[in-house]
Amino acid sequence: MSTSLDEFKKVLSEVGATSKAALAGITALPLVSLAMDLTPPWPRGVAIATCLVELVVLMLTFHHVRHAKLKIINRTLTASFAGLIIASLIYFVLMSLVVFEGPNGDKFVKGFVCTNDALKIYGDACPFLPKSLIKEANFDADRLWTQLSLMGVRLALLVLWSAAFMFLSSLTGCFVVYHISQKSREIGAQ
């Protein structure tokens, strides 16, 4: 009796070059994003961790979708595509609002609640401080925003980043599984 892993290995050996390129491409995409400076500023190593998450999602997608009816595969493809678009858009909007660059090129996040000291100094400008005011504080986010708000923003970026890549993996996995099942049906019909 073959296991899901045996079937996954068999599928990998049978898929065409296009499917292999798609699978390799999506797992390498977080590393490309790192080179393009699109990754969230926290935690370090998020691109490598994302590659591993993508592989797990691909395996889970294959496991759950390989025997599914076309209607289920189509719904999963559509939902994954919608999730990818929504998570990506929110991620990029949030990145543009809350990430700033320090003097040496390092990226930091802005919080959503200013510290008491920052409120006294910057008043109504809090919590959306412009870079000029952040520079006055020597780019020290801890002096300007509360720890809880900084962590909340970091986690929001990480969750959106991860969700986008999980949706991308699910979308690609469903696409590959569908085309493999189509190929199997064609071979079976001959």
Q: What is the pLDDT of residues 30-42, one digit of tens each?
A: 877 877 889 999 9
pLDDT higher at 11 or 95? 95
Quickly state the pLDDT bin for 189 (edges 50, 70, 90): low
Which residue intervals of 2-146 are DSSP H helices? 4-14, 17-35, 46-65, 70-98, 116-122, 131-136, 141-144
Q: Establish if 179 belongs to a structural domain.
A: yes
Number of structural domains, the chain?
1
pLDDT band per the 50, 70, 90 thresholds, residue 46: very high
Residue 41 lies in a domain: yes
- Domain with 87, as residue range(s), is 4-99+165-189
Residue 113 domain flag: no
Assess whether pLDDT exceeds 80 at residue 16.
no
Residue 44 located in a structural domain: yes
In the prediction, which pLDDT does 137 show? 94
- Nearest-10 Cα torsion for 95, 97, 98, 99: 60
- Answer whether residue 125 is part of any domain: no
Question: Rounded to 5 degrees, what angle do the CA atoms 30, 84, 180 make?
Answer: 85
| The pairing of beta strand 107-109 with beta strand 99-101 | antiparallel
Within-domain flag for 171: yes
Average of pLDDT values for 16-23? 62
Q: Do the domain assignments include residue 135? A: no
pLDDT band at 87 (very low <50, low <70, confident <90, very high): very high
